[in-house]
Chains A and B, each alone.
Chain A
Amino acid sequence: MTAPNAPAPEVAQLRRASSGRVLGGVARGIANHLGIPVIWVRLGFVGLTLISGAGVLGYAILWALVPLDDATVPDADSKTSTGGPSSERAILLVLGASGVLLGLLLLATLAGLDLRGFVPLALAGAGAALIWLRADEDHRERLRSGVGRVAPQRAGILQVVLGVGLVLVGLIAFGVGGVGFTQAGTLLVAVAVVVVGIALVVSPFALRLWRERDDERRARIRSEERAEIAAQVHDSVLQSLALIQKNASDAGAVSRIARAQERDLRRWLYPASGLSSSSVRKALEDMAAEVEDTYGVRVDVVCVGDAKTSERTTPLLHAAREALSNAARHSGANIVSVYAEMDDRSLTVHVRDRGRGFDLATVPPDRMGVRESILGRLERHGGTARLSSDPGEGTRIELVMETR
């Protein structure tokens, strides 16, 4: 088995083409997607149109639903401008198509077929096509220019006005000539006609608005995440690096700053799940951080389980802090290990260093630290504390407290 190096072939999504298109880029998009010459797709649409206009309907649906291929927009057709139709061309194209259609209808009528009802619909369809084309063109131009609104051009406005006019004329003609408002019960038809008209005119803009909102939301989330990361890096890492450069000659300070920064970054990258402010684990980690910052030694904390702080755990945590700072101050070791195991019954904390150690018997009786703050404190509160230390071997302190 050799390395499966090649990335999985990317499943290309069907997208409308931005360049080499006549209308909406649907045919070109399909051709690109299937890898066949575009002429076959176009002939296919024309052929389908002969079947009760299915080709036109299919084209319109794909146009509305298939997203524009924005990746190829900026370089593909802004410079060469071989691509899409300008407003003038679109108007001419649609008017031309309407003319051809009318001619065909005339021929058909001459041949004895009654297609009068179809003419108004064709007019309305042509108007709708103009509006859709315009909306689509706006979208392209926005993509092309990067962001923001594109100032509407006169030809563009003309195109929309013409489109609305054609839709209106078509619908009115349909209402008056085709069906007739005089017949009873045709009010419903009239209402339906108006609704369809409004839908035809408004839907491209509504659809565009909806898509834009989606895109904007995604972009906003991305930029917010970026800003948060930038803020975190700026507040922490960059500050620390500046401090380190300033203190470059002081090895102790450098390692202390680096360690504090490491701890901070770690906490941000790997947040312990559900660590509340009243958790023993959190209290121990904060304590360790404080000792690290104060004495410049490394404190490794390993916790098993977690528990809530209470009046039972507080004396033990105070004793642990004393043990920890004793180790940091007096042992000479550069690493102190803290191990805590807790459940809802008891809490055990071990503090150990590999420093110089001491003999408890030689500690003068007036020294409060070990005897009072650690051993005495635990016993007064019903816990147990054990200390073992050998000169040269380091010190181990075990603190145990029943917590219920």
Chain B
Amino acid sequence: MSSGRPTVVLVDDHRMFRTGVRAEIGELVDVLGEAEDVDTAVAAIVELQPDVVLLDVHLPGGNGPEVIRRVGDQAPNTYYLALSVSDAAEDVIATIRAGARGYVTKSISGQELADAVVRVAGGDAVFSPRLAGFVLDAFAGSVEIAEVDEELDRLSPRERDVMRLIARGYTYREAASELFLSIKTIETHVSNVLRKLQLSNRNELARWASDRRIV
């Protein structure tokens, strides 16, 4: 996003929804193109090289994680933000583990969505309250057994505090002032949590995921 507004490709199989999102955030970001299924999405992303892909989780011919995998390193500077109507844990976690930098639901307001796009374009992570709740659930109870766990497999007390506030509906700014931290520090914590969510092979996470039929 060297030239101000981040560039975006919209991937969703409902044209009405794409039109709506374009109208809501079109003033704040540059929408380069749209796609409606896995194949057109991969082609559009590789061709347009956007800063951010707004990615629906369920698509004809596959799903969001598949788009991320198929583009692979053909769009090295592109970040993904999942935008879905699904609140199901398996969808959320599968998309994050495929490499998305965040997950928001379609009920988000236009302003919030534009903020989220800017944040993701800058390399930060975006957590909806529900995603933060999933994270706390998945990493539950790891504080007491800290000494046996790898660093990747648990949340630090600070990260846990940040996740709690986000789960309660706080913005990054509100969380920063509540915890007497800078916004930059909050962003670092959130990015670390995202990395752990993507890389951890913690037993708890695996079991929690299998309970909810996540691969």
Residues of chain A having any CB pair with chain B under 8 Å: 1, 3, 5, 266, 269-270, 273, 298, 300, 302-305, 335, 337, 339, 341, 343, 350, 352
- Whole-angstrom distance between the alpha carbons of A312 and B132 in the complex? 27
Interface centre among B86, B87, B88, B167 (most CB of A within 10 A): B167
B116: which A residues are within 8 A, CB to CB?
Answer: none
- Whole-angstrom distance between the alpha carbons of A273 and B137 in the complex? 14
**Chain B stretch 172-215: residues in CB contact (< 8 A) with chain A:** 211-212
User: Mind listing 29 A-B residue pairs with CB under 8 Å?
Assistant: A3-B42, A3-B70, A266-B87, A270-B87, A273-B211, A273-B212, A300-B129, A300-B130, A302-B129, A302-B130, A302-B132, A302-B133, A302-B168, A303-B133, A304-B133, A304-B136, A304-B137, A304-B167, A335-B169, A337-B168, A339-B129, A339-B133, A339-B164, A339-B167, A341-B164, A343-B140, A343-B141, A350-B168, A352-B169
B1 at interface (Cβ–Cβ under 8 A)? no
Please give me the residue from chain B that is nearest to A396 by CB atom: B168
Interface size class of B (residues with CB under 8 A): 20 to 34
Nearest-Cβ distance from residue B142 to partner chain A, whole angstroms: 13
Majority secondary structure, A binding face: strand
A1: which B residues are within 8 A, CB to CB?
Answer: 72
Nearest-Cβ distance from residue B140 to partner chain A, whole angstroms: 6
Map CB proximity to A onto B140-177 as digits: 1 under 8 Å, 0 otherwise: 11000000000000000000000010011100000000
Please give me the residue from chain B that is nearest to A351 by CB atom: B168
- Whole-angstrom distance between the alpha carbons of A273 and B207 in the complex? 14
Please give me the residue from chain A that is nearest to B213 by CB atom: A273
Nearest-Cβ distance from residue B51 to partner chain A, whole angstroms: 23
B167: which A residues are within 8 A, CB to CB?
Answer: 302, 304, 339
B141: which A residues are within 8 A, CB to CB?
Answer: 343
A337: which B residues are within 8 A, CB to CB?
Answer: 129, 168-169
- Whole-angstrom distance between the alpha carbons of A266 and B84 in the complex? 13
B87: which A residues are within 8 A, CB to CB?
Answer: 266, 270
Map CB proximity to A onto B102-116 as digits: 1 under 8 Å, 0 otherwise: 000001000000000
Nearest-Cβ distance from residue B151 to partner chain A, whole angstroms: 22
Nearest-Cβ distance from residue B93 to partner chain A, whole angstroms: 13
- Whole-angstrom distance between the alpha carbons of A352 and B167 in the complex? 11
B88: which A residues are within 8 A, CB to CB?
Answer: 269-270
- Whole-angstrom distance between the alpha carbons of A343 and B212 in the complex? 19
Decide if B169 touches A300 in the complex (CB within 8 Å). Answer: yes
Please give me the residue from chain B that is nearest to A350 by CB atom: B168
- Whole-angstrom distance between the alpha carbons of A276 and B157 in the complex? 31
Nearest-Cβ distance from residue A332 to partner chain B, whole angstroms: 16
- Whole-angstrom distance between the alpha carbons of A188 and B142 in the complex? 75
- Whole-angstrom distance between the alpha carbons of A3 and B61 in the complex? 12
A5: which B residues are within 8 A, CB to CB?
Answer: 39
B43 at interface (Cβ–Cβ under 8 A)? yes
A304: which B residues are within 8 A, CB to CB?
Answer: 133, 136-137, 140, 167
- Whole-angstrom distance between the alpha carbons of A303 and B134 in the complex? 8
- Whole-angstrom distance between the alpha carbons of A269 and B129 in the complex? 21
- Whole-angstrom distance between the alpha carbons of A266 and B85 in the complex? 10
Interface centre among B137, B140, B169 (most CB of A within 10 A): B169
Decide if B169 touches A339 in the complex (CB within 8 Å). Answer: yes
Nearest-Cβ distance from residue B144 to partner chain A, whole angstroms: 12
Please give me the residue from chain B that is nearest to A302 by CB atom: B133
- Whole-angstrom distance between the alpha carbons of A273 and B90 in the complex? 12
Decide if B212 touches A339 in the complex (CB within 8 Å). Answer: no
